Copies of this chain bind each other. A is one copy, B any other.
Amino acid sequence: MIHPTAIIGEGARLGSGVKIGAYTIIHDNVMIGDNTEIGSHCEIGIPSTLSDGSPLIIGKSSLIRSHSIFYAGSSFGDRLSTGHRVTVRELTRAGEAFQIGTLGDIQGHCTIGDYVKFHSNVHIGQHSVIGNYVWIFPYVVLTNDPHPPSMVMMGVTIEDFVAIATMSIVLPGVTVRHGALVGAHSSVNRDVAADTVVAGSPAKYICDTSAIKLKDGSGERAYPWRRHFHRGYPDDVVAEWLAEFSASSVI
């Protein structure tokens, strides 16, 4: 299961059933959970003087695709799944089933909840705080410096169920609240209220998310997206979501 060309540090602790691809390097200070697969050409657990000496922890049943790079000192729950050539720096903590698309760049010192999904090529600045069930789409940047360059770091906060569409940025210190949608190609310079849509540069309130209909001919509401979009979420979570809407439809 370990390709003969893989270079595995003596201190690395690999669970049972772990697969490591060709030409991949696993450094010493790494713990990889059972049944996790790491593709070719990766570099996993790079030591960093910016970290705190803690290991890189990758949960069970994860998949890290080829050409990816992880630093020591971050930890990921079970079922991490990445695209190719992602980069994750030190001291990030993520929950279960975190998904990072190809080319994603997580700068470190971030806190990320469960079932968060990043599409390709996002840039997550240091000190970002991201809740659960968040979606971030391609070329989105979460920033942190209000007057670059400076020593002031104001990470952004993204609450549960938020979706941030393609090529948008969130400016330092901003909070995007529960269930909000940031339209594509937007620049968000102040807090976004829960369950609202903002768009533009600077982003302005467009409507409540409840006003958007699915373009599938059903006439149903597109948001909260957990009403209709369930791919990749566990059955018990989906059952809870469905119960929520079943109950609310009575009212």
Q: Which residues of A does B touch, CB under 8 Å?
A: 5, 7, 22-23, 25, 39-41, 43, 46, 66-67, 69, 83-85, 87, 102-103, 105, 107, 117, 120-121, 123, 135, 137-139, 141, 143, 146-152, 154, 163, 165-167, 169, 171, 184-185, 187, 200-201, 212, 214-216, 222-223, 225, 228-229, 231
Contacts and interface: CB of A to CB of B under 8 A. Distances in A.
A82 to B, nearest CB: 12
Given A7-B22, A223-B147, A215 B152 contact: yes
How many monomers of this chain does the complex have? 3
A18 to B, nearest CB: 19
Contacts of A187: 167, 184-185
A141 B143 contact: no
Contact of A84 (B87, B171, B216): B87
A87 B222 CA distance: 31
B229 A149 contact: yes
Contacts of A85: 67, 69, 85, 87
Contacts of A137: 148
Contacts of A121: 105, 121, 123
Contacts of A143: 166, 184
Given A23-B23, A69-B66, A185-B169, A141 B141 contact: no
B222 A150 contact: yes
Given A23-B23, A105-B120, A167 B141 contact: yes
Contacts of A231: 151
B150 A169 contact: no
Given A23-B41, A69-B84, A105-B120, A135 B148 contact: yes
Contacts of A150: 214, 216, 222, 225, 228-229
